[in-house]
Amino acid sequence: MTIQGKRLLAACAVAAFGIAIGFGKPADAQQKVLRFIPHANLSSIDPITTTGYIVRNHGYLVYDTLFATDANFKIQPQMVDKWTTSPDKLRWEFTLRDGLKFHDGAPVRPADVIASVKRWSARDTFGQAMAATVDSYEAIGDKTFAIKLKKPFPLMLEALGKLSSNVPFIMPERIANTDPAQNITDATGSGPFRFVRSEWVPGQKAVYERFADYKPRSEPPSWAAGGKVVKIDRLEFRIIPDPAVASAALGAGEVDWYEQPPVDLLPTMARNKDIKIELIDPLGSMAMLRFNHLHPPFNNPAVRRAVMMAVNQNDYLQAIIGNKEYYKVCKSFFTCGTPMASDVGIENAAGDLNKAKQMLKESGYKGEKVVIISPTDIPTNHLQSLVTEDLLKKLGMNVELVATDWGSVLARRASKNPPDQGGWSIFHTWWVGPDVVNPALHAPLRGNGAASWPGWPTDATMEALREKWLVAPTPAEQVSIAKEMQARAYEMVPYVTTGQFQQPTAFRTSISGIIVSPVPFFWNVEKR
C-alpha cells in the first residue's frame, strides 16, 4: 500500500481518536478555545535546558522577555521601559515597565531578571559570549537593574532580545535559581498565557489559559516584539503524531491549526474550502545531520568528512519535503539568502559516494557501530534518519537506527555516554533560519567542548574566529570572518547541512491574525 493509502486508511480512525482524547470538550462552552496540533510532543517545560522548538514555543506562551526581535530583525524593548549605557560602554542600566506581574501575583523584580539572565547565559551560545564579558549584576530599587562589564559587549541588546532557542525568558527568582543543568518543574511566568499544569498530559495535550493580568505593549505585533494581545481564552496543544489523523481532524473541524502538515497531504487538504494553507516562515529552516564528537567513529574528523562528501542534499529534501516549491539545496553553514552565507568550501560536500568510500577507507574507520537516534513522531527528522541509515550502509558503515519519540531522543541526545551505553552517534534536526544567520546565534557551529550544543565539538580555531567576529567593526569584516569560519567548518565538520526548506502551515478559515514569523505565536490570533 502507498504512503497516501495508509494515511487515508488511518484517517478513518479520526472520529474514534477524537472521542478518545476528548476533542470538542472545552472547560467552558462560552470560551474561545484554539486547538493546535504542534510539530512535537511537549515532554519538557524548561526552555533553557533544551533547544527543542516545542519547548521554545511553550516558553513564549508563559514567559516574557526583556527585549524582542521584530520582523525587520531590529531589537525592540519588551519588558524593559528604558535603558542607558555609560560613555565607556561598561555599564548598562535597565528599568522595567510598570505593572509587570507573574502568574502567581508577585511583581517582576530586578532579582528575578538577574537570576533568569544568569541561568540562560550559562546554557545559550549567545548568552555565553555575553556572560564572558560580565563583571557583575546589580539590583537597584523595585524596577531597575544594571549589568557591569569587564569589556564592551556591543551586542548586548541582540543577546537579550534573541528570537529563538535558547530565548532569555524571565522567570521568578526562586525558579531561575535552579541549576542550569537541571529541568525546572514550575512553569510560572509573566507571559500572556498561564500554563495549566493540572491538564498537562505528555503525549496527549498541554493547555494554556489567557493571563488576565498581563499588560501588553501598545505597539502593533511584529514577530516577538510589540503588543501581545491575546484574543482567545484557552489554547490547547493536541498531540497527534499520525499525519493522516491530524489532517483529518483539521478537515473535520476537531482542531483549528495544524503546524506542520506533510507536503504530500497538502493537495487533499487544499480541496477543503474551510482550510487555508500558507507559508508563514519567511526564511525557512536549515536541516542538518549532527555528529557526536566525543566517541568513535565521529571523534575522527576524517570520518566526518567522508560522510559529508557522501551526503546528497536532494535525497534528503525529496524525502522530507518532496515538492521543489518548498526547498532548495543550500551548502552554506549560514542561512542561504542572508549576509553571512557563502559558497566557500562547498566542493567538500559534493555528494560523491565513490569518493566518500575512498575517504572512509583512508580515514581509519574500524567498523565501529553508528547509532542513529530518530524521532518517529517528527517526520522531518525521522525521514532524514532513514536516508542517513541507507547512505551509511552504502558507505560500508555498521549502522543501528534507534527509533523512538522526540522526548526520548531529547533525553538520550543529552547523554555523553558511549553509543553502546545509552549514548548516540548521529541525530537529525533543523534550525529555523534566524537561529543560524550569524556566528553570535549559531549554536551548532560552536567548538566549545562540553559547553556546546549536544555533539560537543572542541575546536579552538573556530572559537577564536567567533570571538573575532563578535568584535568586528564593520559588516564587511564580519562577512570576511564568516567565510573563514565556513572554511574551518568544512575542515572540522561540526555537522552536515542537509538542505534548506520551508514548511507550510494549515488552519481553518475561522482563524485569523496569525503572525508571519519563524516562530508560531498565539497572541493576535482570533477565532470566530
Q: In this predicted structure, what is the pLDDT of residue 96?
A: 98
- Count of beta carbons in the 10 Å neighbourhood of residue 104: 12
Give me the phi and psi of 35, to 5 degrees please.
-105, 125
The CA-to-CA distance between both ends of the chain, in Å, stands at 39
Alpha-carbon distance 497 to 333, whole Å?
Answer: 7
Q: List, by residue range, all CATH 3.40.190.10 domains of the chain.
A: 3-62+182-281+504-527
Q: CA distances (Å), 226 to each of 116, 218, 402, 518, in order?
A: 21, 7, 43, 16
From the candidate CATH numbers 3.40.190.10, 2.60.130.10, 3.40.50.300, 3.20.20.450, the one assigned to the domain spanning 3-62+182-281+504-527: 3.40.190.10
Question: pTM surpassing 0.95?
Answer: no
State how far the Cα of 63 lies from the Cα of 82, in Å rounded to an integer. Answer: 20
- The candidate with the shortest Cα–Cα distance to 489, out of 321, 286, 320, 327, is 286
Over its C-alpha atoms, the chain yields an Rg (Å, rounded) of 23
pLDDT value, residue 336 = 97
Number of H helices and number of E strands within the chain? 16, 23
Percent helix, strand and coil across the chain, each to the nearest 5: 35, 20, 45
Q: Three-state DSSP class for 166?
A: coil
Q: What's the chain's length in residues?
A: 528
Low-confidence ranges of the chain (pLDDT < 70): 1-29
Q: Which of 489, 454, 333 is nearest to 52 (CA)?
A: 454
- Integer angstrom CA distances of residue 444 from 126, 155, 258, 261, 333: 12, 20, 28, 26, 10
CATH of domain 64-176: 3.90.76.10
Grid cell 516562515 in the structure block, residue: 281
* Location of each CATH 3.10.105.10 domain in the chain: 285-501
Q: Cell digits for 445?
A: 557551529
**What is the CATH superfamily name and number for domain 285-501?**
Dipeptide-binding Protein; Domain 3 (3.10.105.10)
- Distance, CA of 82 to chain centre: 29
**Is 306:360 a contact under the CB 8 Å cutoff?**
yes
How open is the CA angle 52-56-58, to the nearest 5 degrees?
A: 120
DSSP line for 252-304:
TTS-SEESS--GGGHHHHHT-TTEEEE---SS-EEEEEEE-SSSTTTTSHHHH
Taking the C-alpha atoms of residue 132 and residue 121, their distance in angstroms, rounded to an integer, is 9
pLDDT at res. 12: 42
**Is 208 within 8 Å of 501 (Cβ atoms)?**
no
List, by residue range, all CATH 3.90.76.10 domains of the chain. Answer: 64-176
Cα torsion 413, 331, 488, 296: sign: positive
